Amino acid sequence: MTEPSIIRAPRPAGSEATLLLDHASVAYGDVPVLEELHGTVYAGEAVALIGPNGAGKSTLIKAVLGLVPTVRGKIEVLGTSPAQARRDVAYVPQADTLDPDFPVSVEQVVMMGRYRKIGWLRRPSAEDRERSARALERVGLSGRARDRFGTLSGGQRQRVLLARAIAAEPRLLLLDEPFNGVDAVSQHALLEAIAALKAQGASVVISTHDLAIAHLACDEVCLLNRSQFGFGPTGDVLTPERLRATYGGRALELRGDRVIVTQT
């Protein structure tokens, strides 16, 4: 599906387009991975990327970061190319490359988010330390600032990585399966932090299998499975018919913890 799969909602006058997908197709070499993606993410919006494993959700995030080429159409980030916009984009991957056994403190991990602005050779200023501290407070872990990162639970580590992204002051935040395996306390803290970012005008793109998260955190949904099966307001796009088309099966649960389908 291409343009007929888009459900357009009215936008306030002057709304900034943070991410534009203009009939974009993405490929690894000669192998197409995603085709004919079309839609717009505006400032202050959160969009959920939903689809089965292997659907191309992580690949789309990498394309928005400029790490995977767009072979047809266009992906535009903050009015320019993904590579040129990267300074204003933050990314929290599924599994961070930071070794939990590495002797680094929680506050040092969060400060890494400031280095893109201050440079790796400059010492952090008092303002940088204050912004990092506020980011850690926003995810509810101020009391663990001096602890070694590796001693935290999986959910707490995910919150620290989000704090690192917040400290970078992004205009666009990309989250790849941020709620996988996190406890209820961490999920609540992540949702509150995302809401606060949206309120400040940042846009958020969340890859997830969790329909409840899409309803709680996101204004719009992009349904993906190698191509686009829907892009628009969450309540309008997450229908049994569209989920059936996306997953190739029958959608059994629309608002539970997971997308549950019976394959045909």
CA–CA dist 36, 157 (Å, integer): 36
User: Which stretch, 38-52, 100-114, 177-191, has highest mean pLDDT?
Assistant: 38-52
48: in domain? yes
Mean pLDDT of 172-179: 94
Mean pLDDT of 235-240: 91
What are the CA-CA distances from residue 178 to residues 114, 151, 189, 190, 245 (Å)? 21, 19, 12, 8, 25
Q: Is 208 a residue whose pLDDT tops 50?
A: yes
Q: Are strands 203-207 and 46-50 parallel, antiparallel or unpaired?
A: parallel
Mean pLDDT of 108-112: 93
Q: Is 4 a residue whose pLDDT tops 80?
A: no
CA–CA dist 50, 152 (Å, integer): 29
Give exposure, 177-186, as e/b (b: 16+ Cβ within 10 Å). bbbeebeeeb
Question: What pLDDT, on the 0 to 100 scale, is given for residue 99?
Answer: 77
Question: What pLDDT, on the 0 to 100 scale, is given for residue 31?
Answer: 84
CA–CA dist 153, 112 (Å, integer): 20
Mean pLDDT of 239-261: 68
238: in domain? yes
147: in domain? no
Tell me what percent of the residues of the chain surpass a pLDDT of 90. Answer: 65
- pTM beyond 0.85: the answer is yes
The count of domains in the chain is 1
CATH number of the domain that 18 lies in? 3.40.50.300
Supply the range of the domain harboring residue 32.
Answer: 3-98+170-263
Average pLDDT, the chain: 87
- Residue 194 in contact with residue 46, Cβ under 8 Å? yes
- Contacts of residue 31, Cβ cutoff 8 Å, sequence gap at least 6: none
